[in-house]
Structure 1
Amino acid sequence: MTSTSEPRRFERSRGRRVGDAVISVFVRAHLVPRTYLLTTRGRRSGRPRTNPATLVEHDGRRWLVAPYGVVAWVHNVRADPRVVLRRAFDRHVCTVREASALEAGPVLQKYVRGSRPTRPYFVASLDAPVEEFVAEADRHPVFELVSWA
């Protein structure tokens, strides 16, 4: 069953930055499940850029989902697929690859079922078939973690 309304559009705002900062504190303290601090290298500046990101485990593999669409960290990862994921005292240097729409569909479906705050950014509803999530893959990039060290 597809939602009839348009999905919410992501807008970077002061409130969003404050929210990310608050969530980052909770992630560092290991209080938010499945969420890590994702550090990418800025595609233009070369400086490290850090954002909270939720890790999805599906079919024995790890995935990063961009629920708000093609945002800055997505551009950075496309320019340089090496990332660092941190949470509490854990630190993982990883390489990612962008998933095809067919691969992304089931991952997006699982992500939406487990992430209530980002549901308004998706057209497909909670109980939609995987095909509806495949259709949304171009708006919500998914990246597989191909190395985990």
Structure 2
Amino acid sequence: MASSERIRPPWWLKYVNKVMIVLNRTGLFSDGPVVLTVTGRKSGKPRSTPITPFEVDGRRYVVGGLPGSDWVRNAQANPEAVLVRGRTREAVRMVELPTQQARPLLRRFPVLVPTGVGFMKNAGLVTGPHPDEFEALAGRCPVFRFDTV
């Protein structure tokens, strides 16, 4: 599929994301979702969305779960971002991995981010937590590495 592919998010996602952002501010999550803030590619304004990063060999990554999503396109346009969990803010640079480097990380995604499996299944990208199906998303769903700034 082309990198310009875009899957419409479910109607409820915007509302759930707002709730997750508010819950994140409470600091109740010690693991799991964080809030990613990137600069809007058109507006130049900060845009925030909850994401669930995962760690492999001491490095942190995130999968762009919906091809063509706004936060992914914003990160591709301006890779400087901020991760927030509770009151902790961290400036990062998002580095999009080439397809071949993304494949092994996508294979591990269903085990490391089980909550992401249902989301990607509902989006019609996979049928379940099968590593082969996730690996096949390389080139469709970008994988970013977070480098501390």
Please name the residue that 1:118 is paired with. Answer: 119
Letter in 2 for 1:46: G
Letter in 1 for 2:140: R
Q: Which moved more, 1:115-124 or 1:36-45?
A: 115-124
Please name the residue that 1:66 is paired with. Answer: 64
Return the match for 1:127 from 123, 126, 130. 130
**How far apart are the structure 2 equivalents of 1:26 and 1:87?**
10
Letter in 1 for 2:26: A
**1:70–1:141 CA contact under 8 A, matched in 2:** no
In the superposition, the TM-score normalised over structure 1's length comes to 0.81
**How far apart are the structure 2 equivalents of 1:112 and 1:28?**
26
**2:106–2:134 CA contact under 8 A, matched in 1:** yes
Is 2:28 the counterpart of 1:31?
yes
**1:56–1:107 CA contact under 8 A, matched in 2:** no
- Which ranges in structure 2 are unaligned for 5 or more consecutive residues? 1-6
Q: How many residues align?
A: 137
In the superposition, the TM-score normalised over structure 2's length comes to 0.81
Structure 1 pair 106–26 and aligned structure 2 pair: CA distance change class (3 A): farther
Look up the SS of the partner of 2:68 in the other structure.
coil
Structure 1 pair 100–125 and aligned structure 2 pair: CA distance change class (3 A): farther
Please name the residue that 2:3 is paired with. Answer: none
5 Å matches for 1:1-149? 9-11=7-9, 13=11, 15-32=12-29, 33-113=31-111, 114-115=114-115, 116-120=117-121, 121=123, 122-123=125-126, 125-129=128-132, 132-146=133-147, 148-149=148-149
RMSD between aligned alpha carbons? 1.9
**1:84–1:91 CA contact under 8 A, matched in 2:** yes
**How far apart are the structure 1 equivalents of 2:66 and 2:27?**
23
Q: How big is each residue's C-alpha offset from its partner over 1:16-71, in whole Å with a ceiling of 9 and x where there is no partner?
A: 21111111122222334321110000001100000001111012211121112220
Structure 1 pair 64–140 and aligned structure 2 pair: CA distance change class (3 A): same
